[in-house]
Structure 1
Amino acid sequence: MVTINLRTKSPKAKISRLPPTLDIDASATVESLVASISEVTKLGTERLRLTLIDNTRLLPGTLLEKYDLQDNSIVYVKDLGLQVSWSTVFYIEYAGPIFIHLFFYNFQSIVYGKTFEHSTIQATVLDLILLHYIKREFETMFVHRFSNASMPALYIARNSAHYWLLSGFLLAYFVYAPGACSDLPGFVYYGLVALWVYAEFSNFVTHLILSSLRPKGTTQRKIPYGYGFSLVSCPNYFFESLAWLAVVLLSRSWSAALFWLVSTATMYKWALKKHSKYKHEFAGKYPKARKAIFPYIA
């Protein structure tokens, strides 16, 4: 047994009921320590983050022995606030554009001050965007595997802004405006719709592969193989970018192009991080020829 000192890093972050010391088995896990603090403070385990004096975080799934905790070692406890699951965050993020696009398309007199007939392209873009986000909601419910990770409830608005503002209000307002999105030659129109279908289907397949690698409720990671993964670490991001590119070319709207650029840049950043983690975690085993997101490029 070791006796550790529990502290908060500032008076403003004070946690009521946090004991000054706590006895814990030195061979216990980080989860055990978090559970003990949770029991005393009456705060959910998902709200508690533990760090050492050098800001090293005590990570779930590790033994306390790893951090060489001795008698009178100091562990800082932070209350992250009310938490929500990532699945809840995704449901809210993706629901926004669905209702926003339906509103802008169907309530013309309120949005644009007059009624008019939408073009074939505008109707198609609406269908594709609705199908995209309905697919995302379906995947959140039945496909994606989430660890026990959560996020502060106050961050929902920040995370939703990308979807609600860029792919919601901004995209919908200009795409469904009077005179926007003129018709295209038949072969171009059907070709772009086919590209979107291919990209969305491929994105779904890669999500199924990723889901099969992680048992439900765990953070286990394996090297993904199969559809698209022979070329890049994150083919799901590549195919999603491709699907939105089809929407950009169909609508020829600057607002669609802006959302595509921002979302692709964001996914590229995420892909680089995941690619780096894969190479570090599976050093010597991870395929060297794979790029992060764009085949043969980056």
Structure 2
Amino acid sequence: MDEKEFLAQRFEENRAHLRAVAYRMLGSLAEAEDAVQEAWFKLTRSDRSEVENLGGWLTTVVGRVCLDMLRTRSSRRESPLDTPHVPDPIVSSADGDPEFASVQADSVGLALLVVLETLPPAERLAFVLHDMFAVPFDEIGPIVGRTPAAARQLASRARRRVRGLAPEPEADRAKQREVVDAFFAAARDGDFEALVKLLDPDVVLRADVGAGKLGINQVLRGAEAVARQALMFQRFASTGILVLVNGSIGSVSAPEGKPVSVTGFTIVDGRIAEMDILADPDRLARLDFEFLDA
């Protein structure tokens, strides 16, 4: 095995970890792949003689690439800040094998990703690298151009915001499924009162149908408003397929077998606290739904 093949093998050993870092940083599967690929290019062009920990080195490289991408994204933002954006969901079978399910259970939830989207780029990087991947602050500081102490403050500010805005979801998947099943049953039956009881009083629904459709993209708040919306679209309840969305019970609406939306549910204390709906046809077309045909 020559040096290039050996390097490629070592990189592949780290690919899943690097993709996980990039996805949490960017909330986009396609951009995460781009960031990982850029890390490979940087690796092949770098002097590796002083790299003692390749995995750690690659993690900081991906972090720096993602930071640049986030800053570019922020400077080019054209849509209003209050326009809902649902990050790319990771969708898989709700009846997958236990080993795969255990991996999915470690996926970051959509509700948390939505909160991460609100953080300034440097805060997001400090929080993701330190709190999710245990990267020390003396390695994070140089990436954001700060001292380790300042990087610690960035992560602390991000942590407070995350704790204040991201609900702590129900971890028991059977309990999640029970609530989601009841929600769809109430929607199919047109039972408004049952829907309201299944929704947290302060429930938030985000619907992202794609750029340029501001009249359809929406954020609804409150149990009665979300219940009324569910009744308006109760015909989709009959086409809902239970799946895992970022490791938690969610659904894919697929009339005639073609996915038209993905919904992530965040269950807290036996009620639905958040619903994140992606119905952007361009982004849905890039997701993997092959398991639906199995």
- How does the TM-score come out when normalised to structure 1? 0.22
Structure with the higher fraction of residues in strand conformation: 2
Bigger Cα Rg: 1
